[in-house]
Structure 1
Amino acid sequence: MSQSAPPPQPQSGPVDGNPYAQQAPAGVPDAPAGAYPPQPGTAYPPQPGAFAPSGPPAPSRDNVVLGLVAALAAAVVVGGLYGLVIGATKHEIGWAAVGVGFVIGLAAGKAGGRNPVLPVVGAILALGSVYLGQLIGTAMIGADQLHIGFGELFFQHFDVVQKVWKEDADPLTFLFFAIAAFAAFSGAKKAAR
């Protein structure tokens, strides 16, 4: 019986006197003698003629209509919530105005992408949302004082609600408008990244 010799194995001992060096795996470009072995997960440069797979291109998020719809929906919802906060606490709260603006900007940027129109529209919608919230809060407070339903005061006597809001408006009221608009503008910019 004849025995065949085992195939040659790569050298696993010291290379050129360096006990830590190993030879590179097959198919990997030669490293200088004595170099450290490649770390697990190391990407090797593509070999000439080799196929280098690439993933699909990143999707482009630039849908203005979707961004506008998302921002409008967010403006209505957070405006109502802001009004509930005002009506429940009987105060305008600055952080809530920041939240109103940020949520609107976030919705616009995430849904619509990097379109430069969205931060501006988000800021405008934030102004309207804060105004709506302040009107809802005013109507809630007024309905409680007059012992009538909120819906009756808000929908049947909306002119009275606006008149009371106008009389109660002070510089802080308009500061909350500015805060919300700024938060919406910057939120849309950050969310679109």
Structure 2
Amino acid sequence: MSQPVPPPSGNPFAGAQYAPAPPPAPVRDNVGLGLATAVVVALIAGGVYGAIAGSIEREIGWAAVGVGFLVGFATGKVGGRNTVLPVVSIICSLVAVYLGQLLSVAMIAADLTNASVTEILVEDFDLVTSAWNESKDAMTFLFFALAGIAAFSGAKKAGE
């Protein structure tokens, strides 16, 4: 029985066939779609945040973080690495948390007055904003900060 003869280079793998390396992942750089995603996700997340806060009649810090991270992550995943998207994510998440807080104030007012939330938001929006303005405290701004930080980090992480 004869032994196989190694190739002349001395490398036993010199003649082996390997599959080619996969092509690199396509670059996601769709700023327009990322911006649209930021707005849509912010509106949905803000509504959910407001509904939760209004139904339990208090704000929740981790929910604000969730709003920010969700907005940022979705924006980065869809829009890619563009440097504008983390900043837009911050702005949209701050607006989402603010709108959510206004919705929670309107829900609480609707419970107290036996009116619909829509009626209060449409007809008494100035009262809703003044009630929010009177009820804001340091925690309100902490929730804004947490949402902004989560949005920025979510957008950066998803855009990688």
Question: So what's the TM-score if we normalise by structure 1?
Answer: 0.75
Paired with 2:135 and 2:91, the residues of 1 have a C-alpha distance of 22
Structure 1 or 2, whichever has the larger Rg, is 1
Judge conservation of contact 2:46–2:97 (CA < 8 Å) in 1.
Answer: yes
Supply the AA of the counterpart residue of 2:138.
P
* Counterpart check, 1:108 vs 2:88: no
- Structure 2 segments unaligned to the other structure (5+ residues): none
How far is 1:183 from its partner? 0.2
CA deviations on 1:103-158 (whole Å, 9 max, x unpaired) are 00011100001111100110011100000000000000011011111111011211
Show the counterpart of 1:72: 39
Task: State, as a whole percentage, how many aligned pairs show the same letter.
Answer: 51
Judge conservation of contact 2:7–2:14 (CA < 8 Å) in 1.
Answer: no
SS in 1 for 2:27: coil
1:53 to 1:144, Cα distance in 2 relative to 1, 3 A: same
* Counterpart check, 1:143 vs 2:110: yes
Whichever structure has more helix as a proportion of its residues is: 2
Paired with 1:86 and 1:192, the residues of 2 have a C-alpha distance of 30
Supply the AA of the counterpart residue of 1:117.
V
Paired with 1:83 and 1:161, the residues of 2 have a C-alpha distance of 13
1:95 to 1:10, Cα distance in 2 relative to 1, 3 A: farther
Compute the RMSD of aligned alpha carbons: 2.4
How far is 1:52 from its partner? 7.7
Paired with 2:70 and 2:61, the residues of 1 have a C-alpha distance of 14
Judge conservation of contact 2:34–2:75 (CA < 8 Å) in 1.
Answer: yes
SS in 2 for 1:109: helix
Paired with 1:134 and 1:185, the residues of 2 have a C-alpha distance of 21
Show the counterpart of 1:123: 90
- Structure 1 segments unaligned to the other structure (5+ residues): 1-8, 12-22, 32-37, 39-43
1:54 to 1:90, Cα distance in 2 relative to 1, 3 A: same
Paired with 2:2 and 2:73, the residues of 1 have a C-alpha distance of 57
Question: So what's the TM-score if we normalise by structure 2?
Answer: 0.90
How far is 1:60 from its partner? 1.1
1:53 to 1:158, Cα distance in 2 relative to 1, 3 A: same
Judge conservation of contact 1:101–1:182 (CA < 8 Å) in 2.
Answer: yes
Aligned length: 160
Paired with 1:105 and 1:168, the residues of 2 have a C-alpha distance of 27
Structure 1 ranges of 4+ moved more than 2 A? 26-31, 44-47, 50-58
Show the counterpart of 1:184: 151
